[in-house]
Amino acid sequence: MATFKTVNVGWHSDLLTPLFWLLSYTGLSQIQIGATLLLYRWPELRRFIVPIIASIAFSGLVLAQIFKKLIVSRDRPSNLVYAIRQEEWWGNSFPSGHTTTAFALATMLTLMTVGTRRAWVGAVAMVWAFGVGLSRVYRGVHWPSDALAGACAGALGAGIIYLWFHHKGWLDLTLERKRSA
């Protein structure tokens, strides 16, 4: 509770509120999928589209929902009398769906770019995903543990999709890594 109160109440400011609103908004899976589809513009990046969207969908629709519906039933912290609620959300809070899909996208980008000249993209994506998780706590709709569980679910989901695509031969990044070496 102390961490939630520190982030949600203690950090509250006119400067951070719009930043965390923007970060929170980018945590929506429809925004992430739309942004991923923009990669189609660059032929050399098109092969990233399907694995990224698959990791977002698998992590957000399957893993997060299993936790949310079957395993953990927990109220949102916005029900606390001191909470500064900036969004109207109902239902269970665990895990954070926004954070799940953000970490799915960031993890998939990291796995696909590690060892290449584009490795910086994965690092930037991880910082962004952390910001999305933090924004959900700041905005009063998730506990810190919801965001942490979302990060784990997203990373796990992306890892599973990456291994599956790699095993099927649908994701061969060998040539890309050789060019960067």
Is residue 24 situated within a structural domain? yes
Is residue 27 situated within a structural domain? yes
Distance between CA 52 and CA 170 in Å, rounded?
13
Domains in the chain: how many in total? 1
Is residue 120 situated within a structural domain? yes
Low pLDDT (below 50) residues in the chain? 174-175
Is residue 123 situated within a structural domain? yes
φ/ψ bin of 103: left (φ > 0), alpha (ψ from -120 to 50), beta (otherwise)? alpha
In this prediction, residue 44 carries a pLDDT of 79
Map tokens 């584009």 to a residue: 118
Is residue 36 situated within a structural domain? yes
Is residue 179 situated within a structural domain? no
In this prediction, residue 175 carries a pLDDT of 47
Is residue 113 situated within a structural domain? yes
Provide the domain limits for residue 148: 2-172
pTM value surpassing 0.85? no
pLDDT tens, residue by residue, 123-144: 999 999 999 999 988 888 888 9
